[in-house]
Amino acid sequence: MPEAATGVAMNTIEVRFTGGMLALNRLLMTLQNKRMPVAGFTLGRDGDGMRATILLDCQPESALRYTALISALEDVSEAGPAETIEVAMISTSGDWREAAERSGIEAHEDEGTVVASGASEKVDDFLATLGARDVVRLGPVARPEGGV
């Protein structure tokens, strides 16, 4: 049986690895093989190789054990905890810049859509302040290192 989802403990692991598709395949196979409770998975590439940010829905001590397991993969150069954030995309006519500053979140506008991200309770506060009329919430996601 896969580990039961807790629904309350989202743990983010950031994994850096080299080896391209074969290494990615091995990582994914490990997640599946060990029945890790993956709630989110994002992948990026930079000069050092590939970077996966994995959201695990489990107790923190299980996440630590899974991190140890992933760290032991030969292709993995680094694996460790990362930040979990909430992302919301909104359409608003309000002053989102001031609301974002007050709530302590990051936000920017892209072709009329405001993309806001930060700790879950801060994003809640931001949305409540703004009274946004059209909101898409992505739920908790991992924040890749250096990204928003």
Partner 1 sequence: MENTAFNIEYKPRTGSEAMCEALLDEGVDYLFGYPGGAIMPFYHALGDYPLKHILTRHEQAAAHAADGYARATGRVGVCVATSGPGATNLVTGLATAQMDSVPLVAITGQVGRPALGKDSFQETNVMGMTLPFTKHSFLVEDPDELYPTMRRAFEIARSGRPGPVLVDVPKDVQFAATNDNGYRRLREAPPPVESPGLERAAMLLRSAKRPLILAGHGVTLGGAEKELRLLAERTGIPVVTTLLGISAFPDDHPLYLGWPGMHGQASVNRAIDRSDLLFAVGMRFDDRITGAAHKFAREAKIIHIDVDPSELGKVIKPTVGIAADAKAAMRSILGHLDAPDESEGCGLWREELAKTQEPERRRKESARDEYGPIQVMEAIKAAAGPDLRLVTDVGQHQMWAAQFFEFTKANSHITSGGLGTMGFALPAAMGVAFAYPEDPVWVIAGDGGIQMNIQELATIRDFGLNIKVAVLNNGYLGMVRQWQQFFHNRRYSETPITGPDYEQLTAAYGLAGRTVSEGADVGVAVRWAQEQEGCTILDFHIDPEANVYPMIPSGMSVNEMIEEDGA
Which residues contact partner 1 by CB under 8 A? 22, 25-26, 29, 33, 61-62, 65-66, 68-69, 72-75
* Minimum CB distance to partner 1, residue 4 (Å): 14
Tell me the CA distances in angstroms from 123 to 8, 106, 143, one per residue in order.
17, 9, 14
* Minimum CB distance to partner 1, residue 30 (Å): 8
Nearer Cβ to partner 1 (74/121): 74
Residue whose tokens read 């309770």: 121
* Minimum CB distance to partner 1, residue 61 (Å): 6
Nearer Cβ to partner 1 (80/140): 80
Nearer Cβ to partner 1 (18/113): 18
Give per-residue burial for 121-136: e unless 16+ CB within 10 Å, then b. Answer: ebbbbbbebbebeeee
CA distance 89 to 135: 6
Nearer Cβ to partner 1 (25/91): 25
* Minimum CB distance to partner 1, residue 95 (Å): 49
92 neighbors 130 (Cβ within 8 angstroms): yes
Name the nearest CA neighbour of 55 among 18, 17, 89, 9. 9
